[in-house]
Amino acid sequence: MELHWMSATELAGAIAAGTLSSREALEHFVTRIEERDGDINAVVQWDLDRARAAAAAADQAVADGEELAPLHGVPMTVKDSFMTEGCITTSGAPELAAYVPDADAWPVAGMRRAGAIPFAKTNLPIWAGDIQSYNQVYGTTNNPWNLDRSPGGSSGGSAAALAMGFSPIEIGSDIGGSIRVPAHYSGVMGHKPSYAVVPAHGQIPGPPGTLTMADLAVAGPMARTVDDLRAGLQAMAGPDRWNAPAWRLELPPSRHEQLADFRIAVWADDAYCPVAASTKRAIESLSAELDNAGASVDLDARPGFTLEKSYSVFAPLLSAALAGGFSPGELETLAANDEQTPAAEAGRASAMRHRRWLTENERRLQMRLKWEHFFEAFDVILMPVQPRAAIPHDHSGNGDFHQRVVDIDGVERPYLDLFPWISPAGAAYLPSTVVPIGFDDDGLPIGVQVVGPYLHDLTALRVAELVAEVVGGCPRPPMAG
């Protein structure tokens, strides 16, 4: 196998065995990016001096027979919203174009402890705030399957880098689908962990130095194999800075190991947010394959609430979680706007008083209870990531999503129709693993969410692994070579 298509765990094994050096692996990825990233624009900042020194030290540790960490010597790229000590971190914002952190974000530090070596940063939208990846600092990242399409966002550079074989593993973040959407658009894998499993201190936004752990927001691994997703999750998971003295994490093992033992629900379409025919076809085809392989598959089971209800809970909580990006004066203006438009309602949700947030949170908790009951009868539920595959680039509206539209099977729909399917797992803090399962009529990859019970991340990952075995793993875009 070509080195750039090896998984992170395979690379770590080869480095530990002495059949490959960390320095050889690093220089191979650097050369590949220099040769192939021009039209993609996924990798936007290098940290090569430090990475080369770390690779040399990793090789010396192997030569000295030292005990090695699980990802020892493995080069990797990092989404540019995560602070990296000594390396410019912009989060796509012009005001941070020269910002050099003096410490790693906690997920980055976790990957370093596991032996990985960050050597470059990948692109994203400004302040990680879109499902497309473009900004004034580094420009636009293109989808490796079609340069006219977005690779997704906000972890779009991460997904494109994985799809192109520029990195074996990445760190993504997800508050409104920012791990799941890029994995779906770009034909790779991503795991949105259960909320609070991975401490995300040091991600921007908020501003550098922010200590708040935003509601709904998580950090998690992206890769091309589920084995690497597990390794990344294990490296990053643990207590945050406030709970570290006493808090420990012991995720439950997967409920089952064999496909025939899993009870799988499937939510392939919904009248509230209809999906493209190719998306529905891919999920229903997968469901039939899983059923034929012996799994217990139910196409009609639902968690006791509608997709519309889920999104009505998620949307205001998301707006409130993003309120840290507004000044007090801006929030007052948003709160006073009584226009009856989607944009005005989103603004009022961002400026909601705490008593309203408590009401919305109670609605969320009632939904979480329904999920608990649902997962007594089922182990996971499969659902779309979005109604369609990768969208064309659309930077209109000066960042205002309400001014954009999207085509879904020839029907012009609001841009925000891309979001409802990420809400069930997002609102309820559930783990969700995205795996590519097929292609649309334009040859663009389609992913599926494998959503599991809260804190049962290893169950979602195991089912995702079995799904990948059925469909054949991550495809490779032709331009990746």
In a domain, 337, yes or no: no
Q: Does some domain include residue 233?
A: yes
Give me 30's structure tokens.
Answer: 């650097």
Is 413 within a domain? no
Q: Which residues pair with 438 in a beta bridge?
A: 446
For residue 206, the domain's CATH number is 3.90.1300.10
Question: Is 103 among the domain residues?
Answer: yes
- Asked if residue 40 belongs to a domain, the reply is yes
Residue 324: what pLDDT? 76
| Domain-located, residue 296 | no
Q: What is the pLDDT of residue 456?
A: 98
What's the CA gap between 110 and 307, in Å, rounded? 35
Instruction: Kindly give the parts of the chain with pLDDT less than 50.
Output: none
Instruction: Please give the backbone phi and psi of residue 205, each rounded to the nearest 5 degrees, phi first.
Output: -80, 170
Give a yes or no: residue 451 inside a domain: no
The pLDDT value given to residue 452: 98
What is the predicted pLDDT for the residue at 463?
Answer: 98
Q: What is the CA radius of gyration of the chain?
A: 21
Contact present, 249 and 239 (Cβ < 8 Å): yes
pLDDT of residue 346: 87
Provide the number of structural domains found in the chain: 1
Beta bridge partners of 174: 218
136 near 144, Cβ under 8 Å? no
Instruction: Tell me, yes or no, whether 408 lies in a domain.
Output: no
Say if strands 139-140 and 134-135 run parallel, antiparallel, or are unpaired: antiparallel
CA 225 centroid distance within chain: 14
- The residue written with tokens 């809260």 in the block is 454
195-173-465 Cα angle (round to 5): 75
Domain that holds residue 141: 3-248
Q: Is there a contact between 191 and 221 (Cβ–Cβ < 8 Å)?
A: yes
pLDDT of residue 27: 98
